[in-house]
């Protein structure tokens, strides 16, 4: 039986690792690091940096693998994602099989494996006997609220966490505060901005962190321009934002 440890590593700052994460990482026989292509090479480099800073076990092996690309031409979004997850699971199994002595395997997961992340779903697709264990990490939501020094919710009020794809269908009924994740299209610009405030951040928790906030009507163009420039400079971007009305 292989024990697969999914370790939440926060949003890019090695200081975000919990003591539990460090202990589990050092107990691993094998640490797998995904490579996402040249444009996102610094994501793999960040994981290497974390390992270099906290790994003290000389017996731990680090294995890198190339992450399959999702077929963006598939007319069915969900079908394309499912095929992609199957391909990733196959690569995981191949990487683990290449190290037959490894029984404790660790995978470093951006943010937390439970929140808008498919690592747990991919692990469920493995066809070899695996016991999955998860180490929670700091989420991008926590990092964003900390960066802006704001509470997530109003007193006694609920919060809706959703995606840009869902926001494009309209503001959720009954919600006053929204957390928007996985939005590559700045969907906030499709809303009537009257009475809406936004707290936006990119690369939150990293040295490259950028944050902007204010009335949506005033700051929307600045966010769009800043996001485009940052993506062009780095070759990739991870951003998140909160809307409140």
Mean pLDDT for the stretch of residues 137-142:
93
In this prediction, residue 77 has a pLDDT band, given cuts at 50, 70 and 90, of confident
The CATH number assigned to the domain holding 197 equals 3.30.950.10
Strand order from edge to edge, sheet including 159-163: 159-163, 177-181, 239-244, 197-202, 210-215
One domain for residues 100 and 29? yes
Percentage of the chain lying above the pLDDT 70 cut: 98
- Over residues 175-201, the pLDDT tens digits come to 999 999 999 999 999 999 999 999 999
Integer Cα distance of 164 and 187 in angstroms: 6
CATH number at residue 6: 3.40.1010.10
- Predicted TM-score (pTM) of the model is 0.84
pLDDT recorded at residue 115: 86
> To the nearest whole number, what is the mean pLDDT of the chain?
92
How much is the pLDDT for 40? 63
């Amino acid at each position: 039986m292989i024990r697969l440890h999914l370790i939440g590593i926060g949003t890019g700052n090695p200081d975000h690792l919990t003591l539990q994460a460090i202990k589990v990482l050092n107990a691993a026989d094998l640490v797998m690091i995904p490579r996402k292509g040249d444009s996102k090479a610094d994501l793999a480099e960040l994981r290497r940096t974390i390992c270099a800073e906290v790994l003290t076990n000389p017996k731990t092996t680090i294995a890198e693998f190339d992450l399959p690309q999702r077929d963006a031409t598939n007319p069915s979004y969900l079908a394309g994602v499912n095929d992609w997850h199957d391909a990733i699971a196959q690569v995981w199994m191949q990487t683990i099989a290449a190290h037959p002595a490894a029984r404790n395997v660790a995978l470093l997961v951006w943010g937390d494996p439970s929140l808008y992340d498919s690592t747990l779903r991919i692990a469920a697709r493995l066809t070899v006997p695996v016991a999955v264990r998860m180490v929670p990490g700091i989420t991008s939501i926590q990092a964003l609220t900390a960066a802006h020094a704001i509470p997530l919710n109003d007193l006694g009020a609920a919060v809706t966490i959703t995606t840009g794809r869902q926001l494009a269908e309209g503001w959720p009924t009954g919600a006053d505060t929204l957390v928007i994740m996985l939005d590559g299209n700045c969907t906030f610009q499709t809303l009537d901005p009257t009475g809406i405030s936004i707290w936006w951040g990119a690369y939150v928790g990293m040295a490259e962190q950028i944050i902007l906030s204010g009335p949506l009507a005033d700051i929307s163009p600045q966010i769009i321009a800043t996001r485009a420039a940052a993506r062009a400079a780095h070759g990739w971007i991870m951003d998140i934002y909160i809307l409140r009305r």
